Amino acid sequence: MHAELEALAAGGGVRPRMVKVWDPFVRLFHWSLVGLFAFAFVTGEEWMKAHILAGYAIAALVAVRLVWGLIGSRHARFSSFVAGPRTTLEFLRDTLRMKARRYLGHNPAGGAMVVTLLAALAVIVSTGYAMTTNAFWGVEWVEDLHVTTVYLTLGLIALHVGGVVLASIEHAENLVGAMITGLKRSD
């Protein structure tokens, strides 16, 4: 397939067949989450009402994504991309050697990242909500957990972006573009 892409780039060859992988909800969820998380991060101490509203929107997105992970389109379902630890570690080992298998949907590392990010976001929105209640207002460990999880999530986001860049290079495809259009090469 790399030869086809090189031929296409050189002005010849056959354009690779594209297939729909990411449904509109997955793409809207992904990019809405990117924007809302960034907005919530920058408004944290400065604009609390907007920060809280962004948190509620993130909570709603995560809740709907969990449901969509059970009943959604083929590549959106958790059953299509959640792999065990051994498979994920083997995939990461192969990735470091630039010999990882290409997946049409999420690869095992991407699946692990989806689950980890959703869990982290659940902790963030739960602790954020808790801090607005009488029971947890001013409770230091809740605020510490909230802030710590936000910063851990920023680290996860950096790993996610790095993984997307590495996989895009390794498999000669634009994964960011795929999350915009929903389309990937069929091979």
Is the pLDDT at 5 greater than 70, yes or no? no
Residue 2 lies in a domain: no
Residue 81 lies in a domain: yes
Q: What is the pTM of this model?
A: 0.86
Q: What is the mean pLDDT of residues 6-11?
A: 52
Look at residues 120, 106, 131, 169 and name the one whose alpha carbon lies nearest to residue 48.
131
Q: What is the DSSP letter of 15?
A: P
Residue 46 — very low, low, confident or very high, per pLDDT cuts 50/70/90?
confident
Per-residue pLDDT, 137: 87
Residue 9 lies in a domain: no
Residue 72 lies in a domain: yes
Is the pLDDT at 1 greater than 60, yes or no? no
Dist. CA 65–CA 62, nearest whole Å? 5
Dist. CA 26–CA 75, nearest whole Å? 9
Query: What is the CATH classification number for the domain harbouring 56?
Result: 1.20.950.20
Phi-psi category of residue 15: left, alpha or beta, with phi > 0 → left and psi -120 to 50 → alpha = beta
Per-residue pLDDT, 27: 96
**How many structural domains does the chain have?**
1
pLDDT in tens, 74-130: 999 999 999 999 999 999 999 999 999 999 999 999 999 999 999 999 999 999 999
What contacts 24+ positions apart, CB below 8 Å, involve 65-70?
A: 65/29, 65/118, 66/118, 68/25, 68/26, 68/29
Is the pLDDT at 2 greater than 60, yes or no? no
Residue 165 lies in a domain: yes
Residue-number span of the structural domain to which 63 is assigned: 19-185
